[in-house]
Amino acid sequence: MSRNIIIDTDPGQDDAVAILLALASPELNVLGLTCVAGNVPLARTSHNARQVCELAGRADLPVYAGCDRPMGRGLVTAEHVHGDSGLDGAVLPEPQMPLQSQHAVDFIVETLRQAPAKSITLCSLGPLTNIGTALQQAPDIAERIAQIVLMGGAYFEVGNITPAAEFNIFVDPEAAEIVFKSGIDLVVAPLDVTHKALTRKAWIADLRTQNSRACDTVAGWTDFFERFDTEKYGSEGAPLHDPCVIAYLIAPHLFTGRHINVEIETQSELTRGMTVADWWRVTDRPANALFLCDINAVGFFNLITQRVARL
């Protein structure tokens, strides 16, 4: 039986690959995409999400726009990583499918309330604003969520947008705090795991031999996306963060991690958005998340190619 998921996202090339991977995978039943402001502003993320659905041949999938800014702060975006469009690196047609008129937060709340308890998993690929807002407005949904699997945070790798913080958590630490304190079953794919799966030229070249428009598009996005990280880290390739969330749901054996306590720093100007992860279990704070740390990178990239080539 396939698992019902809602993907909350701010596409972003790596978000886009994650969406394609989900839509190509029979293990997952995507109920809808909820867009949030993050890598680029909301108007752009909700535009990009629809382009990606159409690329996957899924113009039928409902796409919702959600929060256009973090819960308690101004928006920080990442055009310096993703380009002005958020999806630089491949040219896609203007989306024809509609954006739903319902607000993403209302969709999340209504869908969870109407479905059997614990039958829906939330996949978060961007700042946690939509999910944090939904939990604040409707605390009763917490016990209805099967699991939240999210890309965000870091412990050993510390930060990518500041020395102390990963982008998704940094953008909306108040929303992240709500999620991490919610008591919901959490799986976290931090930079510690995503930085262990770097794209390789050979993988991109292989995508281009698949005779698939979706694979060619992923290759174009990856070419663009890589340049930022290769310049920054001096590495050969770049981490493809967000597909780790979807890969975890399809093939959890590719990952290992620890059940630990993770708290979010919301106060300090210096370290705001830091995920204070008790990896060594030096406190008696109770575990609230499975914090992933290792990944079988070869298996991960093979999975993406095999699945996306089916679209």
Within 13-52, the residues that bind Ca ion by CB under 5 A are: 15
Q: Binding ligand BDR by CB under 6 A: which of 128, 151, 179, 184?
A: 151
CA dihedral 237, 241, 245, 248 (to 10 degrees): 30
Q: Is 237 helix (H, G, I), strand (E, B) or coil?
A: coil
Answer yes or no: 80 catalytic: no
| Distance in angstroms (rounded) separating the CA atoms of residues 128 and 67 | 10
Q: Tokens for 231, please give them.
A: 């310049």
Stretch that binds Ca ion, among 62-70, 126-134, 178-186, 199-207 (CB under 5 A): 126-134
Helices (H), the chain: 13-23, 42-55, 79-82, 104-114, 129-137, 167-171, 173-180, 191-194, 201-207, 213-233, 243-250, 297-308
Whether the CB-CB separation of 156 and 198 falls below 8 Å is answered with no
When asked if residue 39 is in the footprint of ligand BDR (CB under 6 A), the reply is yes
When asked if residue 126 is in the footprint of Ca ion (CB under 5 A), the reply is yes
Q: Tokens for 136, please give them.
A: 């604040």
| Distance in angstroms (rounded) separating the CA atoms of residues 78 and 51 | 19
Nearer residue to ligand BDR within complex by CB, 63 or 81:
81
Please name which of 123, 124, 129, 34 lies closest in space to residue 76, comparing C-alpha atoms. Answer: 129
Q: Which residue of the set 47, 82, 241, 253 is catalytic? A: 241
Nearer residue to ligand BDR within complex by CB, 166 or 192:
166
When asked if residue 81 is in the footprint of ligand BDR (CB under 6 A), the reply is yes
State the binding partner of 218 from ligand BDR, Ca ion, none, CB within 5 to 8 A by kind: none
Site string for ligand BDR, 159-198 (x = CB under 6 A): -x-----xxx------------------------------
Stretch that binds ligand BDR, among 8-16, 46-54, 275-283, 297-305 (CB under 6 A): 8-16
301: left (phi over 0), alpha (psi -120 to 50) or beta: alpha
Stretch that binds Ca ion, among 4-12, 48-56, 72-80, 273-281 (CB under 5 A): 4-12
When asked if residue 127 is in the footprint of Ca ion (CB under 5 A), the reply is no
When asked if residue 125 is in the footprint of ligand BDR (CB under 6 A), the reply is yes
- Location of structure tokens 């055009």: 79
Nearer residue to Ca ion within complex by CB, 10 or 177:
10
Peptide bond into 273 cis (omega under 30): no
| Distance in angstroms (rounded) separating the CA atoms of residues 276 and 229 | 24
Surface-to-core class of residue 202, CB atoms within 10 Å of its CB (0-12 exposed, 13-18 middle, 19+ buried): exposed
Q: Binding ligand BDR by CB under 6 A: which of 44, 196, 241, 307?
A: 241
When asked if residue 229 is in the footprint of ligand BDR (CB under 6 A), the reply is no
CB of 280 to ligand BDR, least distance (A): 23
State the binding partner of 167 from ligand BDR, Ca ion, none, CB within 5 to 8 A by kind: ligand BDR
Nearer residue to ligand BDR within complex by CB, 95 or 152:
152
Q: Binding ligand BDR by CB under 6 A: which of 8, 15, 172, 278?
A: 15
DSSP assignments along 62-117, one per residue: -EEE--SS-SSS-----HHHH-TTSSTTS--PPP-SPPPSS-HHHHHHHHHHHSPT
Q: Judged by CB under 5 A, how many residues of this single chain contact Ca ion?
A: 6
- Interface ranges with ligand BDR (CB under 6 A): 12, 14-15, 39, 78, 81, 125-126, 151, 160, 166-168, 241-242
Catalytically active residues are: 241
- Interface ranges with Ca ion (CB under 5 A): 10, 12, 15, 125-126, 242
